[in-house]
């Protein structure tokens, strides 16, 4: 039940974010100003990253009971994600909102250590322990390095545009900034996909353990 709630929530909020991206991408494309076209694939990769990381969390650490704080932060991320997609042709606001969005995502990764600790407490078994250890290492890398890096990149880009608007806005120097950001997002997406590929066999083994433990607990309850 909890997995269905989680997957439904992720699908809905990313569908809303995609709507804002499509609606604003249509406007950008009709202006025929190619300086802003890179913001469209950058936004699409943002959706890919959010969706893939959400699915990874759902498959590895999301179980009963439902964690309201985790889901509230998902909705908050979706809010700033949608706002971000309304600024495809406003580089200064794009990177400013990007910094806020990445800060919320950073806080989400820190918050989700609670879920990982909960899984470590109730997931007895070698496969579950290996899975939890690998997920914790990835979570630590994200919370201590990757998300702070994304936040800093957006902040630096916003500062550059604010300090030199003539070069970055009038002469379209912001294209270099969005190109760097797009490459960074693509690299992070590739990392997430590779992480899932490595994790997939461990997820299957761990879930077999969870099902076995649930069956045992149910049998003991019925016998009592």
Determine the pLDDT at residue 182.
Answer: 95
Determine the pLDDT at residue 210.
Answer: 66
Determine the pLDDT at residue 123.
Answer: 65
**pLDDT, block means (10 residues), the chain with 224 residues:** 80 92 92 86 95 86 76 91 95 96 94 83 75 88 93 96 93 94 94 90 77 53 51
Residues in the chain: 224
CA–CA distance, 160 with 171 (Å, rounded to integer) = 13
pTM for the model stands at: 0.87
Determine the pLDDT at residue 219.
Answer: 47
Determine the pLDDT at residue 5.
Answer: 81
CA–CA distance, 131 with 110 (Å, rounded to integer) = 18
The string over 106-139, giving b where at least 16 C-beta atoms fall within 10 Å of a residue's C-beta and e elsewhere, is: bebbeebeebbebbbeebeeebbeebbeebbebb
Torsions phi, psi for 172 (to 5 deg): 60, 35
Domain ranges of the chain: 2-223
């Amino acid at each position: 039940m909890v997995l269905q709630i989680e997957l439904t929530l992720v699908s809905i909020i990313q569908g809303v974010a995609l709507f804002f991206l499509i609606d604003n991408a249509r406007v950008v494309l009709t202006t025929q100003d190619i300086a802003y076209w890179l913001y469209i694939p950058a936004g699409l990769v943002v959706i890919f990253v959010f969706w893939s990381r959400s699915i990874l969390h759902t498959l590895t650490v999301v179980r009963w009971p439902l964690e309201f704080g985790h889901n509230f932060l998902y909705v908050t991320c979706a809010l700033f994600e949608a706002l971000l997609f309304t600024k495809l042709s406003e580089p200064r606001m794009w990177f400013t909102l990007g910094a806020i969005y990445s800060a919320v995502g950073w806080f989400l990764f820190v918050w989700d250590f609670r879920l990982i600790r909960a899984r470590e407490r109730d997931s007895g078994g070698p496969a579950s322990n290996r899975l939890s250890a690998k997920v914790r290492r990835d979570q630590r890398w994200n919370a201590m390095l990757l998300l702070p890096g994304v936040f800093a990149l957006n902040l630096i880009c916003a500062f550059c545009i604010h300090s030199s608007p003539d070069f970055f806005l009038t002469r379209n120097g912001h294209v270099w900034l969005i190109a760097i950001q797009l490459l960074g997002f693509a690299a992070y997406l590739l990392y997430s996909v590779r992480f899932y590929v490595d994790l997939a066999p461990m997820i299957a083994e761990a879930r077999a353990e969870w099902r076995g433990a649930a069956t045992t607990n149910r049998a003991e309850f019925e016998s009592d």
